[in-house]
Amino acid sequence: MPPDCTCQNPLVPSIVKVVEIVDETYDIKNFYVATDQGIPFEVLPGQLCMVSLLPVGEGMFSVTWQAEDHLQFAIRRVGLLTDALHEIEIGQELGIRGPYGNGFPVRQCEGKNMLFIGGGIGLAPLRSFIKHCFRRRKRYGQIQVLYGARSVADLCFKQELSVEWPAQPETRIFTTIDRPEADWDGKVAFVPAYLEELAPDPENTVAVVCGPPIMITLALKSLQKLGFKDDQVITTLEGRMKCGIGKCGRCNIGSEYICLDGPVFDLAHLRHLPPEW
Amino acid sequence: MTDRAEKPRLAVFKFTSCSGCQLPFLNMETEILDLAESIEVAYFAMAGASQPGPYDLAFVEGGISCQEDARRIRKVREESRILVAIGNCAVYGGPQALRNFLPLEELKRAVYPQPELIHCFPTCQGIADYVSVDGFLNGCPVDHGHLQDYIVSVMLGKAPEVSTRSVCLECKMKENVCLIVAEGVACMGVLTGSGCGALCPSFDRGCYGCFGPSADPNLKSFANLCRELGLTEEEIHRKFRYIVNNAEAFREEAERHVPQPVES
Amino acid sequence: MVLQGQAGENAVVGRDAFDEILARLQERGYAVYGTVNEKGTGIFRPLGGAGELSLRCTGGTLPPKYLWYPPSETMFTYDRQSGALRSEIEPVKQAVFGIRPCDVHALLALDEVFLGGDYPDPYYRARREDLPLVVFNCVESGDTCFCSSMGTGPGLDHDYDLLITELDRPGRFLLEVGSGLGGELVRDLRAEVARDEDYQVKHRRLEDAAANARTTLETEDLPRLMSEGHGHPYWREISDKCFGCANCTSVCPTCYCADIFDETDFSLTETRRKRRWSWCFLMEFGAVHGGNFRERRIDRLRQFMQHKLNFSVGQYGRFHCVGCGRCIVWCPANIDIAQTGRTIRGDA
């Protein structure tokens, strides 16, 4: 596969192989992809890639982690392309374009306490920021992760949530599910309600929120109630993305393109965008 | 990427219809040779294939008009992994669904010399009224491009995508001059799904709505437009009591314009 | 006199000059397009000879946009057996004879979209790099033209190879050479010297065309007023009439929204990644898993107009509405973007 084909043509993908597939839940798989030389390109936490499974199509996915020699994409099975992705095997070739988007403000958040609030598959993009903080633990203050899913079966990255992350210094992990279950003796509550119960201190804290739209909406309201200012709250937006490079207009919202100006926005900024979001 | 070891088995069935929706298969002259390489045409009476089921992908033309139809469609459903309704009749009941709005016995007597020999349901309906359906391809007849995309998608193991944009876009892409704007014709293209390539407007005839309602038809605005263009309530009613008379949006709009049944 | 053929040179020519210019473009290998009279309006077509050319204001149906941004194109092919991706982009030689100032501004807007930023589009570039433009200034205003309001006409004074303005006596045109290529196209042609009176006639005709515009829209502070007016009741009024047919966006010279998808034929051996025009009016446009953020017609209609009169300014520093008036002509529901702008900002 000649590399010339892709340089200077941002719409033609380069090829990666799937080197590992981890079943996180019944409908979420974490795909590890790499070229023969390792990672295809550097990715900042919160950035996105367009992943192609030819001949099915292409879709925009956030990178859940950039490891030494591969990139990880946690993908939930929700439709045409993701259904097909869930059927592939290790060794499958995929197309990849990127990295796109602005990524999380990892430098600006240094020195702050971090409050990560995630729902369902929303933990996937947050994970890249969380692991980044643990890599450079001393640069960040207290870290709290509040994560919820519909049920135990829907909780992803269970190993990290229950073993690795709680073991980190000055780190607290709160996990919850929506409804009681026989083998679960942890918290049962919706994420926004649990958030208000925990009442984290907004002092020198940045809240990073990602999850289903309704959870984000309610969590943002709760954060406001708890005294978080708009510029202390950041989230990522999802849109219908086709090109990833600001040419096809699909992700246009107000005067922004989610693929170029986002997907990470702080709340102060979001308030200026048209209300259909 | 999900190549199959055996060729998928395709079937095409006909119910109460004109057979016109089967012709696009036969008209795919060059493509049909490639098709024969990748797929096995197991049942297609018009093409001479008549093997028993099961089938991987079944296309059904025609509406359900009588007991025999109802029995057969249930059998087809049982034998088919994926069942797709193609064309106006299978999706909506077809032009023949016009009889749904008239008393059956009166109609029989008006048409047949021996009405007692005619046994049928009071209404002709699309097949989804009788069995669960996996896909709908509108048209009168169905567009062969839509059929092709659907078959290829199934062969590739991906869910097919069918778009319902308006006929207007097809007219514009052919650089037709809009009949509504330039000639005051009450063309239904603004309400109708694309697929025919704006065939009638390309010949200066207003669209008749063959592909059924588009994704978001503004019926109220169209009725107002018709009035502005000088149509009577009766004429507006007849526009919706025509080829696709039994699509819910069109059926309800027809009812808004003439409360009493039309004289036969 | 005889034209030297240099940038900056001006002269007065007759219609016969068009024949020669067109022939020279064709000799140089350009496919030349222009407006012809067809179906009772101006339609943009490939030109065989200059005799086919219509001087009427375009506004026809599809704008010249499809020359530099085709309705559909293949970006690369994928061989399913070998896994190879192949992308072949050939430069395209096209020329426009008789493009109007509004459409030139639309072209410049698309230049920023496709060639600006971090990811210049090589498919667009292949069609744009070698695109001679013979611009016709508009000396008459169409019913729905509001270029003078949008600052995009009726005259143009930049980005042309040749600029042609019809003078008072029919068959007499002021010719202005804007580039080296323009000069080559007119070198050695017989012409009359352009006198002061000729320039005065040009300016008077352009001013008259602007003054006689029957459609207007005040653009001072328009983006801010459109943002503030996002909830104005007028949106409901027009969306109640609107069919969501996308006629407006299909004839807009600046619309660039696209759909990208994979197409495979029956032989299943080759997949093509394609790009084709799409429109924010389509229901499918805003569909994401679990919902659709522009399901209501009012949201889709508003997105179209807000982008043209407001959001594009924030994104690109210019209005994407160039006042060509095509969307107003072709809307079957009589919705008018200029009137919408006037109403939202509180003018009559």
Q: Which amino acid is at C328?
A: I
Peptide bond preceding A55: is omega within 30 degrees of 0, i.e. cis? yes
Q: Are B60 and B83 in contact (CB under 8 A)?
A: yes
Query: Roughly what angle, to the nearest 10 degrees, separates helices B248-255 and B233-240?
Result: 160
pLDDT reading at A1 higher than 50? no
Structure-block tokens of residue C315: 């994104």
Among A34, A120, A36, A40, residue whose Cα is nearest residue A75: A120
Residues 6+ apart with CB under 8 A from C93: C28, C29, C30, C31, C130
Of A39, A72, A99, the position where a domain reaches its end is: A99
Same domain, A174 and A90: no
Structure-block tokens of residue B254: 């027809």
Q: Are A265 and A234 in contact (CB under 8 A)?
A: yes
Residues 6+ apart with CB under 8 A from A202: A223, A226, A227, A228, A229, A232
- Residues of C in Cβ contact (< 8 Å) with B178: 247, 330, 332
Q: Is A251 domain-assigned? A: no
Q: Are B144 and B28 in contact (CB under 8 A)?
A: yes
**pLDDT band at residue C267, thresholds of 50, 70 and 90?**
confident
C236 at interface of A, judged by CB pairs closer than 8 A = no
Same domain, A124 and A225: yes
**pLDDT band at residue C59, thresholds of 50, 70 and 90?**
low
Each residue's pLDDT tens digit, C294-334: 889 999 999 999 999 999 999 999 999 999 999 999 999 99
Of A187-201, C28-42, C330-344, the range with the lowest mean pLDDT is C28-42
Distance CA C200, CA B157 (A): 69
| Beta carbons within 10 angstroms of residue A162's beta carbon | 14
Among B89, B235, B86, B231, residue whose Cα is nearest residue B162: B86
C87 at interface of A, judged by CB pairs closer than 8 A = yes
Q: Are strands C258-264 and A71-76 parallel, antiparallel or unpaired?
A: unpaired
Average pLDDT over residues C272-290: 87
A78 at interface of B, judged by CB pairs closer than 8 A = no
Residue A138's SS3 state is helix
Counting the structural domains of chain A, the total is 2
> How far from A161 is each of A156, A158, A212, B64, B203, CA to CA, in Å?
8, 5, 19, 56, 66
- Burial of residue B106 (CB within 10 Å: 0-12, 13-18, 19+) is exposed
A88 at interface of C, judged by CB pairs closer than 8 A = no
Interface contact flag, A12 C75, Cβ < 8 Å: yes
Q: Are C105 and C60 in contact (CB under 8 A)?
A: no
- CATH code of A140's domain: 3.40.50.80
Interface predicted TM-score of the whole assembly (ipTM), two decimals? 0.91
Dihedral sign computed on CA atoms, order A261, A264, A269, A272: positive
Chain A, nearest residue to C84 by Cα: A1
Q: Are strands A93-100 and A28-34 parallel, antiparallel or unpaired?
A: unpaired
Interface contact flag, A247 C306, Cβ < 8 Å: no
Q: Is A243 domain-assigned? A: no
> Which DSSP letter does residue A96 get?
E
Distance CA A83, CA C214 (A): 55
Q: Which amino acid is at C202?
A: K
Average pLDDT over residues C207-219: 94
Of A77, A99, A121, the position where a domain reaches its end is: A99
Q: Which residues of A175-186 are buried (b: 16+ CB within 10 A; e: fewer)?
A: bbbeeeeeeeee
Q: Are strands A65-66 and A71-76 parallel, antiparallel or unpaired?
A: antiparallel
* Cα within 13 Å of Cα(A235), Cβ side: 28
Distance CA B164, CA B247 (A): 14
Task: Write the Ramachandran bin of C323: left for phi over 0, alpha for psi from -120 to 50, otherwise beta.
Answer: left
The secondary structure element, H or E, covering residue A144 is: strand A143-149
Shortest CA gap B153–chain A (Å): 8
Structure-block tokens of residue C324: 């060509």
- CATH code of A78's domain: 2.40.30.10
C342 at interface of A, judged by CB pairs closer than 8 A = no
The order of strands in the sheet holding C258-264 is C85-86, C72-79, C270-277, C258-264
Nearest to C285 among A12, A250, A255 (CB): A250
Q: What is the CA radius of gyration of chain B?
A: 20
Residues 6+ apart with CB under 8 A from A7: none
Distance CA B217, CA B211 (A): 12
**pLDDT band at residue A172, thresholds of 50, 70 and 90?**
very high
Each residue's pLDDT tens digit, C170-179: 889 999 999 9
pLDDT at B260: 54
Same domain, A117 and A217: yes
Q: Are B63 and B127 in contact (CB under 8 A)?
A: yes
Q: Is A150 domain-assigned? A: yes
Q: Are B81 and B55 in contact (CB under 8 A)?
A: yes
Boundaries of every domain in chain B: 9-156, 167-255
Same domain, A118 and A74: no
Convert B59-113 into a string of H (helix), E (strand) and C (coil). Answer: EEECEECCHHHHHHHHHHHHHEEEEEEEHHHHHHCCHHHHHHHCCHHHHHHHHCC
Q: Is A268 domain-assigned? A: no
Same domain, A58 and A155: no
Q: Is A216 domain-assigned? A: yes
% chain A with pLDDT above 90: 81
Nearest to B158 among A56, A88, A92 (CB): A56
pLDDT at A4: 33
Task: For B84, list phi and psi in degrees, rounded to 5.
Answer: -125, 130
Structural domain including A86 reads 3-99
Nearest to A1 among C85, C264, C311 (CB): C85
Same domain, A89 and A146: no
> How far from C34 is each of A26, A102, A170, C45, C105, CA to CA, in Å?
59, 43, 71, 6, 17
Mutant choice from C243, C279, C280, C334 vs B, greatest count of B C-beta within 10 A = C243
Of A31-35, A53-57, A230-234, the range with the lowest mean pLDDT is A53-57
Distance CA A140, CA A168 (A): 12
Of B2-16, B84-98, B213-227, C174-188, the range with the lowest mean pLDDT is B2-16
Among B16, B32, B128, B27, residue whose Cα is nearest residue B68: B16
B262 at interface of A, judged by CB pairs closer than 8 A = no
Q: Is A271 domain-assigned? A: no
Mutant choice from C260, C296, C305 vs A, greatest count of A C-beta within 10 A = C260
Q: Which amino acid is at A45?
A: P
Same domain, A27 and A71: yes
pLDDT at C265: 82
User: What is the average pLDDT value for chain C, to the nearest integer?
Assistant: 93
% chain C with pLDDT above 70: 98
Average pLDDT over residues B85-109: 95
Distance CA A77, CA A92 (A): 17
Question: Which stretches of B101-179 are assigned E, i.e. beta strand?
Answer: 135-137
Residue C311's SS3 state is helix
Q: Are C73 and C66 in contact (CB under 8 A)?
A: no
Q: Are B243 and B95 in contact (CB under 8 A)?
A: yes
- Residues of C in Cβ contact (< 8 Å) with B181: 329-332
Q: Which residues of A38-65 are buried (b: 16+ CB within 10 A; e: fewer)?
A: ebbeebbbbbbbbbbbbbbbbbbbbbbb
Same domain, A125 and A179: yes
Chain A, nearest residue to C280 by Cα: A250
Q: Is A215 domain-assigned? A: yes
Average pLDDT over residues A144-150: 96
Same domain, A203 and A143: yes
Nearest to C330 among B165, B181, B216 (CB): B181
Instruction: Provide CATH code, domain B9-156.
Output: 3.40.50.700
**pLDDT band at residue B264, thresholds of 50, 70 and 90?**
low
Residue B139's SS3 state is strand
